[in-house]
Amino acid sequence: KHQYNQSLNLQHTPIARCGGEMADEDELKLLSTWASPWASMVKLALHLKGLSYENIEQDLNCKSDLLLAFNPVHKKVPVLIHNGKPICESVVIIEYIDEAYGSTSPSLLPTDPYERAIARFWVDYIDHKLVIPWKVAFTANTEEDKIEAIKQILVGVNVLEGDSQGMLQREALLRW
């Protein structure tokens, strides 16, 4: 086992036990900015999972070596650093912490595969139809671009609310 770990340079790496518990020291650092909705989603997930972490605020106008080293592909926040290993992209991070800390905290995703697929569908929907247009509106250079992005958000919200109304009605009908 020792030789195997040495060949993979795993001798100092904490081992993820089955069920997701982490052995030895367990350190979580988050590269984020206060204004990032994607970083806020990760912070919310960390809080829901009851995990403590060190937040390292980033200046996106002058990106740190840490951010460039840990997210060389996109150079964006959020980045979670778990025991020195980076995980990028908010949804990937959230699913990672849900799996890595599966047995020690409440699950964020449903256990049923179909329900998981539905949850992922709405996560993707919110990202593309609400959060991305919100960022466009926030950073738009012209009033027209801003108005166009806000219109897209309103359409997205209507679909979301319409569906939740529909689901509530279906639930009520089923109970009746």
Ligand X SMILES: N[C@@H](CCC(=O)N[C@@H](CS)C(=O)NCC(=O)O)C(=O)O
- Closest approach of ligand X to the CB of residue 19, in Å: 27
Cα(96)–Cα(102) distance, rounded to whole angstroms? 9
Beta carbon nearer to ligand X, 28 or 77: 77
Shortest CB 60 distance to ligand X, Å: 5
* 38 near ligand X (CB under 6 A): yes
Q: In whole angstroms, what is the distance from residue 70 CA to residue 65 CA? A: 8
Residue 102 found at the interface with ligand X (CB under 6 A): no
Contact pick of 12, 17, 47, 75 for ligand X (by CB under 6 A): 75
Query: Is 128 near ligand X (CB under 6 A)?
Result: no
| DSSP-assigned states of every residue in 67-118 | HHHH-TTT--S-EEEETTEEEESHHHHHHHHHHHTTTTS--SS-SSHHHHHH
Q: Please state the closest distance from residue 146 (CB atom) to ligand X, in A.
A: 17
Q: Kindly state the smallest distance separating residue 6's Cβ from ligand X, in Å.
A: 35
Binding window for ligand X (CB under 6 A); candidates: 20-28, 49-57, 76-84, 101-109: 76-84
**Residue 133 contacts ligand X per CB under 6 A:** no
Number of CB atoms found within 10 A of residue 173's CB: 8
Q: Does 76 bind ligand X (CB under 6 A)?
A: yes
DSSP output for 118-157 = HHHHHHHHHIIIIIHHHHHHHH-SSHHHHHHHHHHHHHHH
User: Contact with ligand X (CB under 6 A): which of 28, 29, 70, 90?
Assistant: 90
For residue 41, the minimal CB distance to ligand X (Å) is: 8
Scan for tokens 């069920």, then name that residue: 19
For ligand X, the binding residues (CB under 6 A) are 36, 38, 60, 75-78, 89-90
